[in-house]
Structure 1
């Protein structure tokens, strides 16, 4: 995730980050500029359309349709940000639950062998969940000295969660923890799978294709018809105006596309690898 100072907003105007939409849209902006210039040349120099031409009235359509397009883009961006923010809250919950589980186990467990087991296994869940959500292959031995024996044909996080619960149940049957202590630990144990399921819901349920495709087509045809009407009032200045309008509308769609899957590898996605690393650090301190 890009780190920046939100108060230093002036530098944003002149600085272009590699994730900035300007870089991604530059080829299309060049095409839109050439296209707008060609339409302006045809209407002004070749066809010699008069001010009374019905083509001038196309601006009325853009005024009406532009309001609808703005509503669609606002809804699109808000929906994508809600998915990004929900993903952040879920990983914040995973951090807290991992800490709480480590704190409770540090007070309950007396043997170093048992404490060392959870010291490695609890962070392993966060790390494997991060790789699972980013579609990376998970190594069989994630931490040195701990063979997780991962079956790559099964659900990775579920296997680790099962191992954690099996170990807790083993401690209960051996008398190392009581029934009351088992109930105290149950909420944190269950929360791991709850977080995983909620993240998978975001990951595996994209914005419906028909909705996303419609917005892209809407933006494209809206921008491509802009030069026809605005040439009468702007002349060749229609070129920078249409390019700017396209940049604004297309940027909103690109931003929404990037953040609707917060567990990927884009610049503005959630830093899940860093969060998993912090969980490992905190759990090792507690246990």
Structure 2
């Protein structure tokens, strides 16, 4: 029984490995592999009929180009992976900054007192934390060229007052940006555009007059929603720093809701948000230069086309599958690099940005103690015990010795 079970598990794992082909670069290069296989078949037929007397000279061409092709393909792959890894590292920084802000706003604010302002204050805390959770979602949709506040996550997290402010934008100020490749790299649909289109859009050229005009999107919000949320967060924090409200630990009527140290830490986190948003836009808007892209494609075309010319006299018919394998390998590396160059899209190998955002929202709800979160999230040490120095067993021992 154990041997049959082991064989069945081995067979299941083998099928799972085969299913991974769907996530490889094969689906992007199969047509090119088929085209080069057809070219190799033509070379084999012509050589068999003696119509290609100069076929042996291709060997020197392949040998000369091998080193250059290897260097360019290696450079292409390494730079694309660097962009993918830098995108992941930047999103990790966003996660860290978001967690820090949520912790400060939920726990570092003065605790409420038995005043009539408590209900408004609790609602304001939740509203501000919702703005913090909305920022990663806004970054994700901006990077994927999916603007607007119609997404369910944003509509549930953004304050109604802010949504109403966006809706009140005059119709004359609203317009849909052009997504043609000749306008600007910021208007290219990166999630669906090829790397060549993004490289063409990123060419150095004088900006159009449309570029200088501020505008709102058709739904009323600014063209850069994450930057608008940073401004809203800053306005909220400044208002809390300037507002006086009594609390349990600070019953004085002249106490700020947000003390100076916490306000400075929160504004520092907003500065980090700005840096991280700029870094994400830099990764998205800086594809491989068009001149390198064109040269590499031309070099691969000549190199793979010369493979059957080199092999047809030595291995005959088998030059056809050899050419197909060569095309799949080289163009597969190029296709994988093109997919990794924009790590924020919707391809299977792109970063799971939506999962990162969902995790941050779940952690925020856990901090609030909502849903099925752990009761330990609401634990706080007893203030009397902390003041008496008996919060730990060692503190209790020291206290008993002093009493003696």
| Residues 197 and 278 of structure 1: CA distance in aligned 2, closer, same or farther (over 3 Å) | same
Q: Distance in 2 between matches of 1:215 and 1:225?
A: 15
Partner of 1:5: none
Partner of 2:42: 38
| Residues 157 and 86 of structure 1: CA distance in aligned 2, closer, same or farther (over 3 Å) | same
Q: Which residue, 15, 26, 48 being the options, matches 2:19? A: 15
Partner of 1:3: none
Q: Which residue, 116, 125, 134 being the options, matches 1:124? A: 134
| Residues 282 and 155 of structure 1: CA distance in aligned 2, closer, same or farther (over 3 Å) | same
* Stretch of structure 1 that moved more, 182-191 or 246-255: 182-191
| Residues 10 and 130 of structure 1: CA distance in aligned 2, closer, same or farther (over 3 Å) | same
Q: Which residue, 249, 254, 271 being the options, matches 1:190? A: 271
Partner of 1:203: 284
Please report how far the alpha carbon of residue 46 of structure 1 lies from its aligned counterpart in structure 2 after TM superposition: 3.8
1:156 equivalent in alignment to 2:225: yes
| Residues 69 and 182 of structure 1: CA distance in aligned 2, closer, same or farther (over 3 Å) | same
Quick check: 1:39–1:227 contact (8 Å CA) kept in 2?
Answer: yes
1:223 equivalent in alignment to 2:304: yes
Unaligned runs of 5+ in 2: 1-11, 112-120, 167-219, 244-255, 369-404
Q: Distance in 2 between matches of 1:193 and 1:144?
A: 20
Partner of 1:167: 236
Please report how far the alpha carbon of residue 254 of structure 1 lies from its aligned counterpart in structure 2 after TM superposition: 0.1
Correspondence 1:269-284 to 2 at 5 A: 269-284=350-365
Partner of 1:135: 145
With the length of structure 2 as denominator, give the TM-score of the two structures: 0.64
| Residues 12 and 57 of structure 1: CA distance in aligned 2, closer, same or farther (over 3 Å) | farther
Quick check: 2:343–2:351 contact (8 Å CA) kept in 1?
Answer: yes
Partner of 1:4: none
Q: Distance in 2 between matches of 1:181 and 1:14?
A: 54
Q: Distance in 2 between matches of 1:163 and 1:178?
A: 19
Q: Distance in 2 between matches of 1:145 and 1:30?
A: 51
Partner of 1:99: 99
Higher relative CO (CA 8 A, sep ≥ 6), structure 1 or 2? 1
* Stretch of structure 1 that moved more, 76-85 or 23-32: 23-32
* Stretch of structure 1 that moved more, 184-193 or 238-247: 184-193
Quick check: 1:98–1:283 contact (8 Å CA) kept in 2?
Answer: no
Q: Distance in 2 between matches of 1:215 and 1:184?
A: 48
Quick check: 1:263–1:270 contact (8 Å CA) kept in 2?
Answer: yes
Q: Distance in 1 between matches of 2:316 and 2:281?
A: 52
Q: Distance in 2 between matches of 1:108 and 1:14?
A: 52
Partner of 1:114: 124
| Residues 100 and 278 of structure 1: CA distance in aligned 2, closer, same or farther (over 3 Å) | same
Aligned positions, number: 276
| Residues 106 and 16 of structure 1: CA distance in aligned 2, closer, same or farther (over 3 Å) | closer
Deviation digits for residues 132-154 of structure 1, max 9, x if unmatched?
11011322552167223344343
